[in-house]
Amino acid sequence: MADPSQSIGQLKIDRNAPKQGSSLNWLFIVGGLLLVAVIAWLLFGLGGGSVAVETDVARQPPSAAAANSVLDASGYVVARRQATVSSKVTGKVLEVFVEEGMSVEKDQVVATLDDTTQQAQLAVAIAQAESARAFLAEINAQLRNARKELDRIRDLAGRGLASQASLDAAESLHDELSARLGTGRENVGVAESNVALARDALNNMTIRAPFAGMVVTKNAQPGEMISPISAGGGFTRTGICTIIDNDSLEIEVDVNEAYIQRVNNRQRVSAVLDAYPDWRIPAEVIAIIPTADRQKATVRVRIGFLERDERILRDMGVKVSFLNASPQAPETPAVQGVMIAGAALRSDGGGDFVWLLRDGIVERRSVELGGPRDRPQVLIQSGLVIGDVVVRDAASPLTPGQAVDSN
C-alpha cells in the first residue's frame, strides 16, 4: 500500500519551474491593445470626431429702397382676372384639351360635351324650317292664282258678265290666301329661330376660353357630368378648369388701420416674394379699398407690379415695403457685396477671413470688408457670393480641410 505522505507531496507547486505560457499571454495583450487603437482611430480619426459648428448663409444686403420704407406689410399675389370655365348646360364631358400650366388663347376650345341629343334636335329644327318654307311657297303660288282669278272676275263683273257672288267669292279666297301667306311667313321665322336655338345649344356643348391666359387647375375628366350649378350630390362637376390672366397679377395686403395714413395712391412699393428673398420687384399702389374689416381692423390695399416676370405666380406670399413718397428722388445705387453674421468674421496676421463650408469641409477664405466690423451683421465687399455657407461658431479651433458637422 502506498504511503499517503508521498501522494500529498506530489500536490506541491514547484515555484522554481519555468513559466511556459507567459510570452504567449503577453502577445495576446499587445495584440488586443493594437486592435483597440485601430478601432479608436477609425472611429475618431475618420470623421467620427468632426467638429460641431454653427453656420450662416451669405445673403444680399438690404437695398437703399428698403431703408427708405415707411411701412412694411405682407400679403399674397392674386389674379385680378380669373375665371372657372364651365358650361351653360348640364352634360357629360367628352374630351378635355387642357392641362395645368398650359397657355390658352381667347375662344380656344378647352373641352367638349356629348352633343348627340343636340345634333338630333338641330336636324329636327332644320327639317321643320324646310317644311315651313315649302308650305310658304305653296301658299304663295295659290295666292298668285287667286289674284289672277280675282282680276278676271272683276273684269267680267265690270262688263256685266259675272255675278256679284262670283266676285265676292274670288275676293274672299284672295284675302284668305293672303292671311295664310302671312301666317306661313311667321311660321318660317319661328322655324328659323328654332334652328338658331338648336345651333346655339349645339355650340354650348363646346366650351371655350373666355380670355387669353394660363390654366392653373383642371377640375373635370372625360366621362364626368358637368353642370353650371351644383347638383348630383357631389358627383357633378361645376367647372372644367380655372384660367387666370397673368397680366392681371397684383398684390393684395391688409394694412392695419392705425397706419393706413402712411399709404397713398400711386405710392412706390418694393415687393419681395417669399420664394425669391433676394429679388426686389418695383411696384406701386393701385387702390386703397374704401372700407375696413372690423374683425381684423385692417384696410385692404391693391398693389400693381411695374415689371412682369414668369416667376411671379398666383397665391405666392410676398412682403412689401411702402416707400417714402419723396418726389423725383434719385435712385441710390444698389449696395455691392453680401451680408454675413459678424461672429463669422475672423482676423489674424494675414488679414480678415472666414471659414467657408463646402461638402462638410472647411476652407479659409480671405475677404474684404465693406463697412464696420463691430456689428451683428457685416458687409463683405469681396470674397463671398450670395448663398455661400460660412462658419459662425465652432466647438474647437478649425484648420483648413478639416471635416465639420453643421447639424
User: Does 181 lie in the same domain as 171?
Assistant: yes
User: Does 215 lie in the same domain as 92?
Assistant: yes
- Is 90 exceeded by the pLDDT of residue 109? yes
User: Does 387 lie in the same domain as 350?
Assistant: yes
Average pLDDT over residues 165-186: 88
Range of the structural domain that residue 138 is part of: 116-201
Residue with the bigger pLDDT between 158 and 241: it is 241
Q: What pLDDT was estimated at residue 319?
A: 93
- Is 50 exceeded by the pLDDT of residue 404? yes
Average pLDDT over residues 207-232: 87
User: Does 255 lie in the same domain as 137?
Assistant: no
- 275 assigned to some structural domain: yes
Average pLDDT over residues 202-216: 94
Among positive and negative, which fits the CA dihedral 235, 237, 241, 242? negative
| Alpha carbon 72 to chain centroid, angstroms | 24
Q: Measured between alpha carbons, how far is 178 from 142 in angstroms, rounded to an integer? A: 9
H-helix or E-strand containing 235? none
- Residue 271's φ and ψ, nearest 5 degrees, are -110, 140
Q: How many domains does the chain have?
A: 4
User: Does 274 lie in the same domain as 347?
Assistant: no
- 58 assigned to some structural domain: yes
- 39 assigned to some structural domain: no
Contact 325, 267 (CB under 8 A): yes
Grid cell, residue 123, equals 336636324
> Which has the closest alpha carbon to 236: 246, 248, 224, 247?
224
User: Does 266 lie in the same domain as 304?
Assistant: yes
Contact 352, 395 (CB under 8 A): no
Q: Which residues contact 250 (CB under 8 A, 6 or more apart)?
A: 77, 78, 79, 80, 286, 302, 303, 304, 305
Q: Measured between alpha carbons, how far is 243 from 212 in angstroms, rounded to an integer? A: 8
H-helix or E-strand containing 129? helix 116-158
Please state, as a whole number, how many other Cβ atoms lie within 10 Å of the Cβ of residue 20: 7
Q: Measured between alpha carbons, how far is 265 from 284 in angstroms, rounded to an integer? A: 8
Average pLDDT over residues 345-352: 89
Bridge partner list, 207: 111
- 41 assigned to some structural domain: no
Grid cell, residue 394, equals 465652432
Query: For position 311, which CATH number holds?
Result: 2.40.30.170
User: Does 233 lie in the same domain as 104?
Assistant: yes
User: Does 342 lie in the same domain as 302?
Assistant: no
Share of the chain above pLDDT 70, in %: 83
Tell me the pLDDT of the chain averaged across its residues.
Answer: 84
Query: For position 227, which CATH number holds?
Result: 2.40.50.100
Nearest 10 degrees: Cα torsion 228, 231, 235, 238: 20
User: Does 236 lie in the same domain as 195?
Assistant: no
Contact 250, 302 (CB under 8 A): yes
DSSP class per residue in 191-206: HHHHHHHHHHHHHTTE
Residue 26: pLDDT band by 50, 70, 90 thresholds?
low
Query: For position 363, which CATH number holds?
Result: 2.40.420.20
User: Does 263 lie in the same domain as 379?
Assistant: no
Q: What pLDDT was estimated at residue 122?
A: 94
- 96 assigned to some structural domain: yes
Bridge partner list, 208: 109
Q: What pLDDT was estimated at residue 61?
A: 74
Q: What pLDDT was estimated at residue 1?
A: 47
Average pLDDT over residues 346-365: 90
User: Does 97 lie in the same domain as 227?
Assistant: yes
Q: Measured between alpha carbons, how far is 27 from 36 in angstroms, rounded to an integer? A: 14
Tell me the pLDDT tens digit for each residue of 31-77. 667 776 655 554 444 444 578 888 999 887 766 555 567 888 999 99
**pTM beyond 0.85:** no
